[in-house]
Structure 1
Amino acid sequence: MSNWHGFSAQFPTGYPSFSQRGGPFPGAASSSSGESGSGIAGQPQFDIFDWHPAYQSCQRFFLDHAQYDNGVQAVAALINISLPFQWTSNPIVNSAGPMPNAAGPGAYSHPWPRPGPASSARGQPIPAWVSLVPYIRRLVITGMDSKGIMHGFFGEDWRKGLGPLHECERRNYLFAAKSTEWAEVKHHYDMSPHESVPFLKPLQDAQLAEIEGAEQTWSQWLAMQDWMVGPRAPNLEGEAKDDA
């Protein structure tokens, strides 16, 4: 695997920042927000069966390649999240699954011998199931979710496979910040005593359309808190047009 070239971590204002040139994560200075296209909720063009193979491609890339890359390991160490091969109870070394005789929540416990990795309809092996959401969340809240780093972690298909989840997690972070104070937000994103969040950074490279979309969805959530759903749901979109 190639190394990051020119990676440097600095702490000018209490948040880690870095500049890097070349290496496996090109273009890490700009965010992908607003480029992911369709979200999951409220997007009729989202096709789950078209999306899923791309998500599996991201899983395979992450498990088979990215977690062994020096740049990915450096970022994971900085934001204090372990990679699957580093898990102590049931390390997952590649997309074929956990190590033999592994035990733990991610291990397989069927009482009969398991065949080799199953194949999808396209003939590709189905990767071991490892949720990528914790990694997306940690990258978002630490301001590391640039398109270059997302590409380095999850591969060429990351926009199609993880773009909708990335968009949702950015919105969730806005919601968390609006819902409660800093300490509660940090506690919510801490994963364990050993993988606590080392720092929180305001959402990076937020676009106006992203903020306005979050505002509309937040209004829908407030309406649900007052049971203004179904036949009682307010016409929030129409009200916004009237206000304009």
Structure 2
Amino acid sequence: MASSSQAGPLPQELQPSSLLHYGWPTTGEHGVTTPEFDIFNWYSHFQSCHRYFLDVAQHTHQVQALAAFINIQLPYQKHPFPITSSATASPHLSGPETGRHQRQPHHFSGSDSAGHPQAVSLVPYIRRLVATGHDLPRVLCGYFGDNWREGIGALHEIERQNYLFAAKSTSWMKVKQAYDMSPQEMVPFLKPLGNVTEKEIQGAEAAWSEWLAMQDWMLGPRAPDIMNLPPGGKRESQG
């Protein structure tokens, strides 16, 4: 009988090639896709970006200044339990070592007064940079390190598309409310998405059309031919 600790093969739906069917993006220039996205390879790069943000970036004057301007607290400013580095991660929640004197992950990167690990997500910082027009390559590099494209590039692309969807879905005020955080971290301003390419717009249009189709339950055997929809994803209502 096999040991319960022995890992078996991954389910088919978690195989890297299968994840493409769920709309997983690739990293690269906006709107440019490649035929493969290996989530397991991506994860090691993501962990590297996570460590860089906690151990290096949040302690630099440049990142602190921009965070103050766009009104978002960095982990070391989270009181009463500031998170100053990745070194305080719970050893039971960190991943295997990938190199000499390296520790991972550092999703769990601090402890409260009872010693419980606290999670640090990079997504709120990516969202705030996107919404305020500061998601430039040099800024993303400063926040997440030199390999930010491999580590958080996919999440960046997702959040850019989400911002387009939010603007298309509702009013400016409701979009702003969606990007506010705590009363102390309300987004001070919104800027239209910058550095947009035609490919990125086309990709967002196709994804928006798929969303509209789902709203009408046009799924599976009833799914429309997305490629034949006109620009903007508009279509005639079905009788």
TM-score, length-scaled by structure 2: 0.74
The equivalent position to 1:191 in structure 2, one of 177, 181, 192, is 181
1:122 alignment partner AA? T
Instruction: For 1:58 and 1:65, locate their aligned partners in 2 and report how far apart those are by CA, in whole Å.
Output: 10
Other-structure match for 2:96 = 120
Paired residues of 1:151 and 1:158 also in contact (CA < 8 A): yes
- The structure in which a higher percent of residues are helix is 2
Instruction: For 1:95 and 1:61, locate their aligned partners in 2 and report how far apart those are by CA, in whole Å.
Output: 9
Q: C-alpha deviations, 1:114-157, integer Å up to 9, x for none?
A: 65884425243113212100000000000000000000000011
SS at match of 1:143: coil
Paired residues of 1:62 and 1:154 also in contact (CA < 8 A): yes
Other-structure match for 1:231 = 221
Instruction: For 1:88 and 1:125, locate their aligned partners in 2 and report how far apart those are by CA, in whole Å.
Output: 25
Instruction: For 2:38 and 2:98, locate their aligned partners in 1 and report how far apart those are by CA, in whole Å.
Output: 17
Other-structure match for 1:168 = 158
Paired residues of 1:38 and 1:46 also in contact (CA < 8 A): no
SS at match of 2:84: strand
Other-structure match for 1:211 = 201
Other-structure match for 2:29 = 35
Q: Provide closer, same or farther for how the CA distance between residues 193 and 159 of structure 1 changes in structure 2, counting only shifts above 3 A.
A: same
Instruction: For 2:202 and 2:230, locate their aligned partners in 1 and report how far apart those are by CA, in whole Å.
Output: 11
Structure 2, unmatched stretches of 5+, are 1-26, 108-119, 232-239
Q: C-alpha deviations, 1:27-59, integer Å up to 9, x for none?
A: xxxxxx9616777xxx75111101000000000
Matched, 1:63 2:39: no
Higher relative contact order (CA 8 A, sep 6+): 1
1:80 alignment partner AA? N
Paired residues of 1:36 and 1:160 also in contact (CA < 8 A): no
Paired residues of 1:67 and 1:83 also in contact (CA < 8 A): yes
Structure 1, unmatched stretches of 5+, are 1-32, 99-113
Paired residues of 2:58 and 2:76 also in contact (CA < 8 A): yes
1:75 alignment partner AA? L
Matched residues, number: 191
Other-structure match for 1:86 = 77
Instruction: For 1:197 and 1:211, locate their aligned partners in 2 and report how far apart those are by CA, in whole Å.
Output: 25
% of aligned pairs identical? 57
Q: C-alpha deviations, 1:204-233, integer Å up to 9, x for none?
A: 111111011101100000000000011111
TM-score, length-scaled by structure 1: 0.73
SS at match of 2:146: coil
